[in-house]
Structure 1
Amino acid sequence: MSAAPLINYPCTVCCRATSMWCSRCQRVWYCSPEHLQNDWPRHKKECVPTSAVPEQQRNAAPVPIQVQPQQLFSVSAVLFLPEEERPRIIVVNCQPQSSGACPVPLVREFFPRGQPQSVVLTQGLNNEPLRFPLHLWYCPISLAKGAPVNRAIHRITSGAAPKPWSGPVLVLKFNGSRRQGYTDAGSNDLPALSSYFLAYK
């Protein structure tokens, strides 16, 4: 991975602002080597080395993204609370970013016990690719801090999940495979989520 000076773009995996890119093609941005490695199975299909690009295009500097102040907007999300038997459909505010960048969902309020982390689900039942990937937020230290097992997840997996999920879990839905924004998540996303919880070890 290489860094481009003073220009921040959204990480392809998590949308965090970054100046690091794939040094092979210099067209895709990542905030860490781990995210590049995680995305490589998908990205390698489109990664064209800069040596294969005409020189006049190769030497062109990336165009900085202009930041425009914008108002928050809301999308529906699925919230699994540990003390409830069923997941809820709630509204989550998102902060728009610069043009073309993925908005930042404001999820901190749902995780009072610690800093949330996220994972992007790209496959659903029977490993079928999801047309709209799911962005799952959770707190990895909830169980260590004594958070109860998540009853809503326990219920949708019929108690068969090998990992006892605990603490809240929040799920947003990307509006397409390029993950540049969000759309409303709902109960139709529960089968893919159940499949993920059952497969995660």
Structure 2
Amino acid sequence: MNPAVSLINHPCTVCFKSTSMWCSRCQTAWYCTPEHLHSDWPRHRRECVAVAPQQANMIATPPPVQPQLITVSAILFAPQEDSPRIITVNCEPPRTPSQGTCPMPLIHQHFPGGEANNVVLTQGLNGEPLRFPLQLWYSSSALASNGPINQAIFRITSGAAPKPWCGLVMVLKYNGSRRQGYSDAGSNDLPALSAYFLAYK
């Protein structure tokens, strides 16, 4: 590390120890040692998208992977976590015109058996149309088998939903009503999601 470079310390992605070193390729993942980057590389490679040339405080990464991937922020509601969190999701651009124009989010590794269904929310609170529709990915088998109740969803609805949501949920945000791509989802989208979960039966 270069002591002349003043950076805000971030938690290491692996051990949460404070560090000012980051992945040299994407500059969004923080690691306290090169060993931690290499041990996390099988997971991190799916979200690692190159940005700028190397600077001080960077840890060299393994060879680049799929530079054509598009990266967006998504909201993850994990069953065992008390609150939703923002994660990075890679999206693969369509390869042929028959696949449409919207990229395909690479989210199946988050779901047991890779099985994930989705529903698109076009209305928010009080039924007003959403300018940026929300796409919810979920496991229908977790819902059908009454899997573990999603604690993050339970918390944002204050436990008032008529039916608890089971299993993992991931939410992506379209970049417009034509649904031709994605933009970054964030905490501003939680009220519309809470309204949906409260109405789910």
State the TM bucket, normalised to the shorter chain. 0.5 to 0.7
1:130 Cα deviation after fit: 0.1
Assess if the C-alpha contact under 8 Å between 1:72 and 1:93 holds in 2: yes
Equivalent residue number for residue 154 of structure 1? 154
Provide the aligned length of Structure 1 versus Structure 2: 133
1:43-192 map, 5 Å? 71-97=68-94, 98=96, 101-113=101-113, 115-145=115-145, 147-192=147-192
Which amino acid in the other structure matches residue 127 of structure 1? G
Unmatched 5+ residue regions in structure 2? 1-65
Give the TM-score of the pair, scaled to structure 2. 0.63
Assess if the C-alpha contact under 8 Å between 1:114 and 1:142 holds in 2: no
Which amino acid in the other structure matches residue 182 of structure 1? Y
User: Is 190-199 or 93-102 further displaced after alignment?
Assistant: 93-102
1:193 Cα deviation after fit: 0.1
For 2:199 and 2:135, how far apart are their aligned partners in 1? 16
Change (3 A) 1:132 1:83: same
1:200 Cα deviation after fit: 1.3
1:157 Cα deviation after fit: 0.3
For 2:168 and 2:143, how far apart are their aligned partners in 1? 11
Which amino acid in the other structure matches residue 161 of structure 2? A
1:144 Cα deviation after fit: 4.5
For 2:146 and 2:134, how far apart are their aligned partners in 1? 27
Give the TM-score of the pair, scaled to structure 1. 0.63
Deviations 1:99-156 (A, max 9, x none): 6611000110111255110000000000000000000000011144563100000000
Change (3 A) 1:144 1:126: closer
Unmatched 5+ residue regions in structure 1? 1-68
Which amino acid in the other structure matches residue 88 of structure 2? V
Aligned residues with identical type, % of pairs: 68
Give RMSD over aligned pairs.
Answer: 1.8
For 1:130 and 1:178, how far apart are their aligned partners in 2? 12
